[in-house]
């Protein structure tokens, strides 16, 4: 699989800039590219993609993969018809990544949502309040974690 | 003694007639608006049903509210409207409550429903109520000046401050609206009264999509019913005032059965004409903002009304 | 919202607690049940969510929907856009107190809902999509005349209403220059849909990433650069007219063939689906784990992306402007509040069971019947 001619340069530039940091990359179709990076590099990478490559943050998906969380930052390039997904993982023993909200205000809600639902901490988030869960819920209440159902039934 | 008995009868007759006519007018307004908006609209008994239903509802007085003012406000509002209805003259019936200078008193009384809404809104301990009250105050200040200027055009034309005299003048010389100055004043007063009735585009104090119901937010049950009744009666009374001052006034001619019917039909037409204007103008306009309304009244409508007044001085 | 007198000095957005746990539920359903579930995310854009989800799963499975299915999806999606935008226009005018035009716009929305009933059997929640294609055919020879007639009536009506909107001085006074979202802010807050197009950013998934049959029927993108409420209004009203033309073109060009593709066994894979909902870009991410139950299903509805941008739009405006400014992004709060409602004390998902709901409804019906 290869990207469309308009989308390919975007991925090339990213690889050129962060070549040694990229863990692996995958092109699933001519308009979908996935690039895995270490979680320490997410702010730097997101900054480059948002400000230099002019991508638009569509959303962030978090997935509980058992031993940790995988975060997928979906950046859309509207003119090039490309969704570039940066992915990084955080282990459950240290569930934290740097926040990109100071960089992209549009990420505020989704980061707060992930903090609520997965218990993942976004460091340096300007407004780390609860977004969708009630204030009265206990701090370790994270419904989209895979072990949430068991934890509740044990109680 | 006989005179006092007549006054009593007149009082109750007006109380009954003005409130029911008010509810009927509010039905016409609602039905007309509905038809203009491609809707079916309410049945004829709807305003009475609404009123009776509200009377049976629970009366809630909010905890933080200043109770006395909160309860008194709708009574003040209704009483002032009723007093205006008592003062307004009908040709052919000697006005038992008219007196020299009653036009000025009517002007004052007509400001009171707005003030009562302000009192009620401020006393209800509700942020929407207070915003509504402050808007009501600004609106009151902005439309009073053109209204006074418009009504004084009639005073200058007829040389009298008494409504009965204004009516008599028109009976002899034709309706004021037929003269240039009278027509200008009629237009200005209709627009100012549009704001007094808080109809769109001046439904700013109780803008329902912005501040819930403004001063009336916390009202419920019988007190709300009274406010609604006062408002419906105000609609009728304002139409009556415009008909009296500019459209030649209402006349009941008892000389024969035919002339009685004829005069009543003409009276109905004169009363319905302002109502028609209020309803249609309401239906074809969105809501202005309070600063826009203030500017518009003070700059344009006041100037317009003053032109009418000037025309009256040069006897146009 | 913090105000000083009539002026808004600070804005703090809190979205409600009416979360419905759709993502949670969807990770416990099979991929074929989920279209029915996500259809219920929103009653207004009840086509775009299942469509978006199906595209995500199709991408993960490597399946292409057949041509006829793509055309049917396009037609339903555009009809949905027409009805949604007309609904919005009515609500927006109601927010500025213009109830007559509100009723007029909704009068033209009604025939579109009737069309939906004709074509899909439902006025809302059309249940058209399934993974790999569509569930229901459109009988073109039989319905073409009725659809074209209705569309012409609605198109003429909307063009006339657009003229009324543009000429009314008070409408201008309420909409022009109010709630401005600058191009830079629009980019920083990552807004989508008509909100972005009203701020001069020409993004539209139908054009940028043509899905369904948009590549064939073509879309003319409407962009206004002012960023105020008027610009967003014009974008939407003109899109109604554009959508009507798209439906007409799609109906005439509809190819024959099957309605759904053969599906393989669910692989271990992932896919992203994107559609242009009436309110903007809608994105679903689905990860499959080799079973019929997805590992993760993430939904990002357009309002979710647009709501934070209200802060710069509201600051400095007055209370009177707040409803129309908030209304101008066409907030669909049911799409935004789509997570779990949970009982704080027991920690159990709070909810009324199906039996209990049926029981309550029956009790109510009996009460109504008795009193009548």
Q: What is the mean pLDDT of residues C188-207?
A: 85
pLDDT > 70? residue C285:
yes
pLDDT in tens, C320-349: 677 777 777 666 655 554 433 333 333 344
**Mutation target vs A (from C15, C58, C190, C206; most A CBs, 10 A cutoff):** C190
d(Cα C348, Cα A145) in Å, to the nearest integer? 15
Percent of chain B at pLDDT exceeding 70: 97
d(Cα C5, Cα C285) in Å, to the nearest integer? 45
Q: What pLDDT score does C13 carry?
A: 66
Residue C170 token pair: 């008070």
Whether residue C137 contacts residue C117, with contact meaning beta carbons closer than 8 Å, is answered with no
Task: Tell which wins on pLDDT, C246 or C18.
Answer: C246
Q: What is the mean pLDDT of residues C22-30?
A: 80
Whether residue B234 contacts residue B241, with contact meaning beta carbons closer than 8 Å, is answered with no
Confidence of residue B24 (pLDDT cuts 50, 70, 90): very high
Count of the separate structural domains present in chain B: 1
pLDDT > 80? residue A53:
yes
Tell me which residues of chain B, numbers 143 to 172, contact chain C at a CB-CB cutoff of 8 Å: none
Count of the separate structural domains present in chain A: 1
pLDDT in tens, C97-114: 788 888 888 888 888 888
Q: Which residues of A16-31 are buried (b: 16+ CB within 10 A; e: fewer)?
A: eebeeebeeeebbebb
Q: Roughly what angle, to the nearest 10 degrees, separates helices B102-123 and B221-245?
A: 150
Domains of chain C, first to last: 2-345 (1.10.645.10)
Confidence of residue C352 (pLDDT cuts 50, 70, 90): very low
Confidence of residue B313 (pLDDT cuts 50, 70, 90): confident
**Distance in Å, alpha carbon of C362 to nearest chain A alpha carbon:** 32
Classify strands A56-64 and A68-77 as parallel, antiparallel or unpaired. Answer: antiparallel
Range of the domain at B103: 2-313
Q: What is the mean pLDDT of residues C35-56?
A: 84
Pinpoint the alpha helices (H) of chain C. Answer: 22-26, 34-39, 48-61, 67-95, 99-120, 140-167, 169-175, 183-188, 193-197, 205-208, 214-217, 229-252, 302-306, 310-314, 322-328, 333-336, 354-371
d(Cα C162, Cα C105) in Å, to the nearest integer? 10
Indicate the pTM of the whole model.
0.79
Q: What pLDDT score does C339 carry?
A: 38
pLDDT > 50? residue B213:
yes
Measured on CA atoms in the order C260, C265, C271, C272, is the torsion positive or negative? positive
Return the residue of A nearest to C286 by Cα. Answer: A61
The label of the residue with tokens 């990109």 reads: A100
pLDDT > 70? residue C156:
yes
**Distance in Å, alpha carbon of C101 to nearest chain B alpha carbon:** 8
pLDDT in tens, B172-202: 887 777 788 888 888 888 988 988 888 878 8
**Mutation target vs A (from C20, C285, C341; most A CBs, 10 A cutoff):** C285
**Mutation target vs C (from B128, B286, B295; most C CBs, 10 A cutoff):** B286
Q: What pLDDT score does C344 carry?
A: 37
Asked whether residue A68 is domain-assigned, the answer is yes
Whether residue A38 contacts residue A91, with contact meaning beta carbons closer than 8 Å, is answered with no
Tell me which residues of chain A, numbers 53 to 112, contact chain C at a CB-CB cutoff of 8 Å: 56-59, 61-64, 72, 74, 76, 78-79, 81, 83, 85, 104-110
Chains A and B in direct contact, meaning 3 or more beta-carbon pairs closer than 8 angstroms: no
Whether residue C45 contacts residue C34, with contact meaning beta carbons closer than 8 Å, is answered with no
Range of the domain at A139: 8-154
Q: What pLDDT score does C3 carry?
A: 62
Confidence of residue B27 (pLDDT cuts 50, 70, 90): very high
Asked whether residue A111 is domain-assigned, the answer is yes
Q: Which of C338, C328, C202 is nearest to C276 (CA)?
A: C202
pLDDT > 50? residue C271:
yes
Asked whether residue A102 is domain-assigned, the answer is yes
| Least confident span in A21-30, B61-70, B304-313 | B61-70
Highest mean pLDDT pick, B46-60, B210-224, B241-255: B46-60
| Least confident span in A78-87, B79-88, B89-98, B253-262 | B89-98
d(Cα C29, Cα C53) in Å, to the nearest integer? 13
Taking CB atoms and an 8 Å cutoff, what residues of chain C touch A59? 283, 285, 298, 300, 304-305
CATH of the domain at A43: 3.30.460.80
Q: Is B204 on the interface with C (CB under 8 A)?
A: yes
Contact A56 C342 (CB under 8 A): no
Contact B209 C94 (CB under 8 A): yes
For C307, residues 6+ apart whose C-beta sits below 8 A from its C-beta are A109, C13, C15, C329, C331, C336
d(Cα A65, Cα A118) in Å, to the nearest integer? 11
pLDDT in tens, B123-142: 887 777 878 888 888 888 88
d(Cα B72, Cα B69) in Å, to the nearest integer? 5
Q: What pLDDT score does C350 carry?
A: 39
Q: Which of C242, C310, C280 is nearest to A76 (CA)?
A: C280
For C43, residues 6+ apart whose C-beta sits below 8 A from its C-beta are C124, C125, C334
């Amino acid at each position: 699989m290869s990207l469309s001619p308009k989308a390919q340069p975007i991925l090339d530039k990213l690889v050129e800039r962060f070549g040694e940091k990229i863990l692996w990359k995958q092109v699933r179709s001519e308009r979908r590219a996935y690039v895995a990076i270490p979680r320490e590099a997410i702010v730097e990478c997101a900054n480059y993609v948002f400000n230099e490559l002019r991508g638009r943050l569509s959303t962030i998906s978090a997935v509980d993969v058992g031993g940790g969380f995988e975060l997928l930052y979906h950046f859309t390039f509207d003119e090039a018809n490309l969704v570039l997904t940066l992915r990084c993982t955080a282990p459950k023993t240290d569930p934290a990544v740097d926040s990109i909200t100071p960089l992209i205000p549009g990420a505020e809600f989704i980061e707060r949502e992930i903090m609520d639902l997965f218990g993942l901490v976004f460091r340096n988030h300007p407004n780390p309040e609860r977004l969708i869960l009630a204030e009265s819920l206990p701090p370790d209440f994270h419904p989209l974690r895979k072990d949430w159902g068991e934890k509740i039934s044990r109680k | 003694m006989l005179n006092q008995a007549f006054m009593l009868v007149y009082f109750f007759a007006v109380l009954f007639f003005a409130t029911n006519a008010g509810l009927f007018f509010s039905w016409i307004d609602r039905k007309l608006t509905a038809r203009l908006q491609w809707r079916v609209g309410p049945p004829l008994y709807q305003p009475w049903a609404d009123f009776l239903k509200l009377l049976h509802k629970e009366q809630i007085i909010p905890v933080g509210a200043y109770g006395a003012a909160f309860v008194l406000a709708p009574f003040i509002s209704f009483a002032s409207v009723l007093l205006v209805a008592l003062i307004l003259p009908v040709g052919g019936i000697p006005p038992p409550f008219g007196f020299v200078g009653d036009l000025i008193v009517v002007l004052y009384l007509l400001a009171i429903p707005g003030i009562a809404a302000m009192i009620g809104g401020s006393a209800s301990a509700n942020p929407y109520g207070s915003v509504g009250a402050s808007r009501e105050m600004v609106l009151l200040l902005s439309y009073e000046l053109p209204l006074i200027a418009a009504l004084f055009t009639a005073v200058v034309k007829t040389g009298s401050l008494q409504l009965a005299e204004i009516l008599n003048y028109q009976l002899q010389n034709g309706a004021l609206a037929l003269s240039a100055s009278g027509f200008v004043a009629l237009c200005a007063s209709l627009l100012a009264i549009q704001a007094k009735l808080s109809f769109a585009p001046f439904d700013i104090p109780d803008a329902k999509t912005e501040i819930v119901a403004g001063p009336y937010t916390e009202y419920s049950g019988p007190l709300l019913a009274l406010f609604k009744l006062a408002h419906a009666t105000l609609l009728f009374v304002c139409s009556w005032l415009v008909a009296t001052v500019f459209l030649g006034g209402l006349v009941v001619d008892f000389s024969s059965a035919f002339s009685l019917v004829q005069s009543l039909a003409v009276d109905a037409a004169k009363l319905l004409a302002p109502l028609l204007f209020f309803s249609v103008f309401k239906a074809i306009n969105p809501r202005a903002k309070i600063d826009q309304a203030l500017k518009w009244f003070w700059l344009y409508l006041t100037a317009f009304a003053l032109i009418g007044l000037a025309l009256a001085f040069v006897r146009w | 919202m913090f105000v000083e007198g009539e002026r808004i000095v600070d804005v703090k957005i809190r979205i409600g607690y009416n979360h419905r746990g759709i993502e949670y539920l969807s990770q416990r359903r099979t991929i074929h049940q989920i279209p029915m579930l996500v259809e219920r995310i929103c009653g207004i854009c009840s086509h775009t969510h299942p469509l978006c989800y199906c595209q995500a799963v199709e991408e993960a499975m490597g399946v292409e929907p057949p041509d006829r299915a793509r055309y049917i999806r396009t037609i339903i999606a555009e009809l949905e856009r027409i009805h949604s935008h007309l609904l919005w226009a009515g609500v927006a005018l109601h927010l500025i107190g213009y109830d007559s035009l509100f009723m007029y716009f909704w009068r033209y929305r009604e025939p579109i809902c009737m069309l939906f009933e004709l074509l899909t059997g439902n006025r809302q929640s059309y249940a058209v999509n399934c993974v790999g294609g569509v569930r229901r055919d459109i009988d073109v020879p039989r319905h073409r005349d009725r659809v074209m007639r209705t569309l012409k009536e609605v198109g003429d009506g909307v063009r006339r209403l657009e003229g009324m909107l543009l000429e009314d001085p008070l409408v201008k006074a309420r909409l022009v220059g109010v709630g401005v979202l600058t191009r830079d802010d629009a980019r920083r807050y990552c807004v989508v849909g008509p909100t972005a197009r009203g701020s001069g950013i020409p993004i539209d998934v139908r054009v940028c990433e043509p899905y369904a049959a948009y590549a064939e029927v073509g879309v003319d993108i409407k962009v206004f650069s002012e960023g105020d409420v008027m610009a967003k209004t014009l974008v939407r009203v003109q899109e109604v007219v554009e959508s009507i033309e798209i439906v007409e073109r799609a109906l005439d060009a509809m190819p024959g063939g099957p309605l759904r593709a053969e599906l393989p066994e669910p692989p271990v894979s992932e896919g992203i689906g994107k559609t242009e909902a009436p309110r903007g870009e809608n994105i679903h991410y689905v990860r499959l784990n080799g079973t019929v139950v997805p590992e993760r299903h993430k939904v990002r509805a357009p309002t979710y992306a647009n709501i934070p941008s209200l802060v710069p739009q509201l600051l400095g405006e007055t209370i009177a402007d707040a409803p129309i400014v908030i209304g101008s992004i066409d907030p669909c709060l049911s799409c935004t509040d789509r997570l779990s409602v949970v009982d704080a004390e027991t920690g159990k998902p709070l909810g009324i069971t199906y039996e209990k709901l049926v029981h309550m409804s029956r009790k109510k019906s009996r009460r109504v019947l008795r009193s009548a």
